[in-house]
Amino acid sequence: MADRKVALVTGAGKNIGRAVVLGLAQDGFDVVVNGSSDRAAAASVAAEAEKLGAQALVAMADVGSPEACAALAKAALERFGRVDVLVNNAALRPAQKFLDITPADWARVMAVDLEAAVWLSQAVLPGMVERGWGRIVNFTGMNAIHGYAGRAPVSVAKHGAWGLTKALAKEFARQGITVNAVSPGPIAADDEDPAAPGPRQAYVAKVPSGRMGTTAEVAAVVRMLVSDAGAYVNGQMLQVNGGAET
């Protein structure tokens, strides 16, 4: 249908990205499923979305360069003619001592975790402005915003994503566009047993809800933000963390 809205989700081959794609497909969006290397995983998500009634495009791209971001946006626009929702979910979270970080290490995390959101937003915002409606959701992260020991570039990039969110929210609000951030706490991966003993359980024990969250619970917040019901939520960071201190 010509009036169906289109959502582009980066890092959509598994976990939170997959849940977001399937939730938006359920809500009536056509979807662009982006992955960086595992085409089979992205294709599987696209097939699931199509079973929910969506048209789905698999668009492989490592979003760590402006050129790749431009190509990704071009592929989405050539297929659907529009991108109404952009979810910047792709991220790297390497663990590395600060004194061991090289310029290349630093640049790589900045490119994927922060700059991809810049270039993809720049590519899709003109169409959103023209239509007078758009939604951008960036992902931060509770630990990243607190400050990650051993993950300095991740913390810096995620703080940058939060700053980008606030700046774009103010600049484009009058054009019917909202820009928000979602900050997950401990979330169980697709292949993870939330109750299994592991290094994250000590942290989970400090969460008032007493458990890990699910990818569907994160996706539910994204679904609200990109809906018409979320139109007056703008420039905010929504924590999905079971009540953990923020």
Q: What is the pLDDT of residue 204?
A: 82
Tens of each residue's pLDDT in the chain, 246 residues = 457 999 999 999 999 999 999 999 999 999 999 999 999 999 999 999 999 999 999 999 999 999 999 999 999 999 999 999 999 999 999 999 999 999 999 999 999 999 999 999 999 999 999 999 999 999 999 877 888 899 999 999 999 999 999 999 999 999 999 999 999 999 999 888 766 666 677 778 878 998 899 999 999 999 999 999 999 999 999 999 999 875
CA dist 67 and 238 (Å) reads 30
The two tokens of residue 66 are 């402006």
Closest by CA to 109, choosing from 146, 71, 152, is: 152
107, 150 in Cβ contact below 8 A?
no
55, 2 in Cβ contact below 8 A?
no
48, 98 in Cβ contact below 8 A?
no
The two tokens of residue 120 are 């993809």
DSSP string, 114-150: IIHHHHHHHHHHHHHHHHT-EEEEEE--HHHHH--TT
Q: What is the pLDDT of residue 199?
A: 66
The two tokens of residue 123 are 């590519």
CA dist 12 and 7 (Å) reads 11
**How many CB atoms within 10 Å of residue 48?**
16
In this structure, which amino acid lies at residue 218?
V
58, 10 in Cβ contact below 8 A?
no
The two tokens of residue 48 are 């699931």
129, 172 in Cβ contact below 8 A?
yes
Class of 6-240 in CATH: alpha beta
Domain boundaries, the chain: 6-240
Q: What is the pLDDT of residue 1?
A: 45
Residues in CB range of 118: below 8 A, 6 or more apart: 164
Rg (CA), the chain: 17
Q: For the whole model, what pTM was predicted?
A: 0.95
